[in-house]
Amino acid sequence: MTNQNKQMKDVMSQIMAIPAIGPLMALLLASIFFATQTDRFLSGSNLSLVVQQVMVVGTLAIGQTLIILTSGIDLSCGMVMALSSIMMTSLAVDYGVNPFLAIIIGLVISALFGLLNGALVTMIRLPPFIVTLGTYSIAFAVIRIYTTQTITNLPDVMTFFGKTFTIGSTAITYGSVLMVILFLIAWFVLSSTAGGRYLYAVGDNPEAARLAGISTTRLLISVYVISAVLYGIAGLLLTARTGVGDPQAGQNSNLESITAVVLGGTSLFGGRGNIMGTLVGALIVGVFRNGLQLMGVESIYQVLITGILVIVAVSIDQLSHR
């Protein structure tokens, strides 16, 4: 009897040791709940839609996770995304630049913002919150100064990631696939490369990391630049998803991406968390939004529930590390 109990405990502790198990179980239970509530939820096309709906914020949240793991935070992500989207589409549509080149220029502009963030954080040692609050406004203003017009009639290249292919009867968006691939790459880099380890170390304790032989400045700047490039890619996905270049986009994306990161179990204090948890976190938000909508629940309850989810998720994180 006691032996059995012990075995049970061992199994339980093994299950609890799986990264992001908490968020994953929440996602699973939520899905089961919605499946019992509406028969439309579990259809392949609906699940595919949920993934498609989180592809933009999910991609942003990859970058956000990297930065939060270094115990930073990035409020500028949505604006960098919108800027990249506007630059790409505007160059291609208004100035006839080759769309591939336009996309690359958009990504480079994103990277420059990342470089600015990273340089201010490391060289002048400003808190990331302040730096990115500033660059949020700067990017916001740059967009408005550049254009207030929505850019339409995009070349096909730019909407490619919004197109779908079918497996069986389920239509899958190319952008969803790209997001999942980006998550897998980030997961591999974080868990299996020296750079990934260094990132966790810097987030855990920057001084100890430096004294352990890590070039913290170089690492942090790289993280901010890589994250910004991811925001640029999110901008491309946003463009593809909505089919336009939208100067109004991204104003809330910083909080949405942070929500996904937190729901995924990453600590806002840095050094602890799993990138796949962020994917699950983004999906939780998507599943609740979609499921509640299918049930006919007003959207304000989605906001309410997201708020509750965030607080519960952080509470669990706090309690489990007492």
Partner 1 sequence: MNKTANNPIILEMKGIGKSFPGVIALDGVNLSIREGEVHALLGENGAGKSTLIKILAGAYPKDQGEIIFQGQSVDIKSPYHAQQLGISTIYQEFNLARHLTVPENIFLGHLPQKGLLVDWDTAKARSQEILTRLGVSLQLDVPCDTLSVAEQQLVEIAKALTRETRVLIMDEPSAVLGDKDMEKLFQIVRSLTARGISIIYISHRLSEVFEIADRVTVFKDGRLVGSKDVSDVTMDSLVKMMVGRDLQDIYPKKHAKIGKVLLDIKGLNRPKVLHNISLQVRAGEIVGLAGMRGAGRTELLRAIFGADSYEGTMTLDGKPFNPTSPKDAIDQKVALVTEDRKAEGLLLQQSVKFNTTISGLKEFCTRWIINRQKEVDHVQQMVKKLRIKTPGINNLVVGMSGGNQQKVIIARFLGARVLLLDEPTRGIDVGSKNEIYQVMVDLAEQGLAVLMVSSELPEVLGMSDRVLVMHEGHIAKELSRAEASEESIMKYATGSHLES
Partner 2 sequence: MHSPKMFNKSRSRFWNVKLAVVLMVIALLLGACGGAATPAAEKPAEKAAEKPAADASAGGKIKVGLVTKTETNPFFVKMKEGATKAIEAAGGELMSAAGSFDGDNESQVTAIENMVNAGVKGIMITPSDTKAIVPAIKKARDAGVMVIALDTPTDPQEGTDALFATDNFKAGILIGQYAKAAMGGKPVKIATLDLAPGITVGILRHNGFMVGYGLATVDATAKDLVNSAEVVCSQDTQGDQAKGQTAMENCLTKDPEINVVYTINEPAAFGAYTALKAAGKEKDVLIVSVDGGCAGVQGVKDGVIAATSQQYPLKMAAMGVDAIVKFASTGEKVSGYTDTGVTLITDKAQAGVEGQDTVFGLENCWGDKK
- Which spans of this chain sit near partner 2 (rule: CB under 8 A)? 12, 22-23, 25-26, 29-30, 32-33, 36-40, 45-46, 49, 52-53, 56, 144, 148-150, 152, 238, 241-244, 246-249, 251-252, 288-290, 292-301, 303-305, 308-309, 312-313, 316, 319-320
* CB of residue 273 to partner 1, shortest distance in Å: 10
| Residues 313 and 262: beta-carbon distance below 8 Å | yes
147 three-class SS: coil
CB closer to partner 1, 156 vs 207: 207
What is the contact mask toward partner 1 in residues 47 to 86, using x (rule: CB under 8 A)?
A: ----------------------------------------
- Rg (the chain; Cα; Å): 20
Q: Which residues are CB-contacts of 162 (< 8 A; sequence separation ≥ 6)?
A: 173, 174, 175, 237, 240, 241, 242, 243
Asked whether position 181 contacts partner 1 by CB under 8 A, the answer is: no
Q: Which residues are CB-contacts of 311 (< 8 A; sequence separation ≥ 6)?
A: none
* CB of residue 121 to partner 2, shortest distance in Å: 28
Residue length, the chain? 322
214 token code pair:
């890590």
What is the contact mask toward partner 1 in residues 196 to 215, using x (rule: CB under 8 A)?
A: -xx-xx--xx-xxxxxxxxx
CB closer to partner 2, 140 vs 183: 140
| Residues 139 and 83: beta-carbon distance below 8 Å | yes
Cα 63 to its chain centre, rounded Å, is: 6
Binding site for partner 1 (CB under 8 A): 192-195, 197-198, 200-201, 204-205, 207-215, 267, 271-272
